[in-house]
């Protein structure tokens, strides 16, 4: 049921989405760069690696999603799986 007389909303325009994403990439870059400028006090060995938290966050989430996707192959059932008796 697509609406007809729709006004344009902010994210209907791709350039707005792209603008948002560009801003987001810049923030990511700045945060990573700050790692080399600000001296962090470390409480843990792993943290000595520059960009530890950035890399960890990125890798963790990619792994999370890819593993979850594989889990679907084993775990996913039809929506009414529990509602019908076999």
**Shortest distance, position 73 Cβ to another protein, whole Å:** 10
State which residue, 13 or 54, has the beta carbon closest to another protein.
Answer: 54
Torsion sign (Cα): 76, 82, 83, 86: positive
Rounded Cα gap, residues 45 and 73, in angstroms: 38
Rounded Cα gap, residues 16 and 9, in angstroms: 10
Rounded Cα gap, residues 20 and 68, in angstroms: 28
Binding region for another protein (CB under 8 A):
1-3, 9, 11, 21, 24-25, 27-28, 31-32, 34-35, 38, 40-41, 43-44, 46-47, 51, 53-62, 64-69, 71-72, 74-79, 81-83, 85-86
State which residue, 15 or 75, has the beta carbon closest to another protein.
Answer: 75
């Amino acid at each position: 049921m697509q609406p007809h007389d729709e006004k344009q909303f902010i994210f209907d325009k791709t350039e707005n989405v792209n603008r948002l994403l560009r801003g987001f990439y810049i923030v990511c870059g700045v945060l990573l760069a700050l790692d080399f400028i600000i001296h962090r006090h470390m409480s843990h060995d792993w943290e000595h690696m520059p960009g530890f938290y950035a890399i960890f966050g990125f890798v963790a989430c990619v792994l999370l999603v890819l593993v979850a996707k594989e889990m679907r192959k084993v775990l996913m059932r039809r929506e009414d799986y529990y509602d019908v008796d076999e």
